């Protein structure tokens, strides 16, 4: 999963970042969130019988919590309004399939190991909306969002 993030980050930089720019925390969080969602590191013990949002969305919750920790914001669904917001954000993460990582994902599935420099990945058109959406959301949630909204 970490190697997948590095491949996605490289493809993102090739797509969006000029030579003199660095990847900022909201971008790191968004790219890591979609990578976690693509690799699905957790499986409920009985997927056909999940009973809670935490069981059904364990990967998305992990991805969101990880991304929020990067931008140093807590996940606090302590009111109905906040809970509704977090659920919508989880659905955005769910819909982020990251087709860009498919060559690497297939190699991992078939236990093929190649050095990362052998992959030449480009952000696929179907990934651009979800990546841009998550970066924008994380920018607005972060401290940077306060500056963007002035």
Residue 14 has pLDDT above 80, yes or no: yes
Which burial class, exposed, middle or buried, applies to 84 when counting CB atoms under 10 A from its CB (0-12, 13-18, 19+)?
exposed
Range of the domain at 84: 2-148
Distance CA 53, CA 50 (A): 8
Residue 64 falls in which region: left (phi positive, over 0), alpha (psi -120 to 50) or beta: alpha
pLDDT band, residue 76 (cuts 50/70/90) = confident
Among 24-33, 69-78, 85-94, 106-115, which is the least confidently predicted range?
69-78
Task: Reduce the DSSP state of residue 96 to 3 states and report it.
Answer: coil
Give the per-residue pLDDT at 79.
Answer: 87
Distance CA 51, CA 69 (A): 27
Q: How far is CA 95 from CA 72, 116, 134, in A?
A: 24, 26, 11
Distance of CA 122 to the CA centre of its chain: 16
Residue 98 has pLDDT above 90, yes or no: yes
Give the per-residue pLDDT at 133.
Answer: 95
Distance of CA 99 to the CA centre of its chain: 13
Number of domains forming the structure of the chain? 1
pLDDT in tens, 39-51: 999 988 888 899 9
pLDDT in tens, 118-139: 999 999 999 999 999 999 999 9
Alpha-helical (H) ranges within 23-124 are: 25-39, 53-56, 58-70, 80-94, 102-109
pLDDT in tens, 15-37: 987 666 666 999 999 999 999 99
Model pTM score: 0.90
Give the per-residue pLDDT at 45.
Answer: 83
């Amino acid at each position: 999963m970490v190697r997948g993030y590095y491949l996605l980050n490289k493809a993102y930089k090739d797509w969006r970042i000029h030579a003199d720019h660095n990847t900022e925390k909201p971008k790191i969080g968004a790219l890591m969130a979609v990578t976690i969602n693509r690799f699905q590191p957790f499986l409920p013990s009985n997927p056909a019988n999940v009973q809670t949002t935490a069981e059904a969305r364990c990967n998305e919750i992990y991805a969101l919590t990880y991304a929020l920790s990067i931008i140093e914001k807590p996940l606090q669904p302590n009111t109905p309004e906040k809970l509704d917001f977090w659920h919508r954000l989880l659905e955005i993460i769910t819909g982020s399939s990251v087709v860009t990582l498919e060559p690497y994902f297939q190699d991992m599935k078939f236990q093929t190991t190649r050095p990362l420099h052998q992959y030449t990945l480009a952000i696929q058109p179907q990934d651009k909306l979800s990546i841009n959406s998550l970066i924008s959301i994380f920018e607005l949630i972060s401290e940077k969002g306060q500056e963007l909204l002035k």
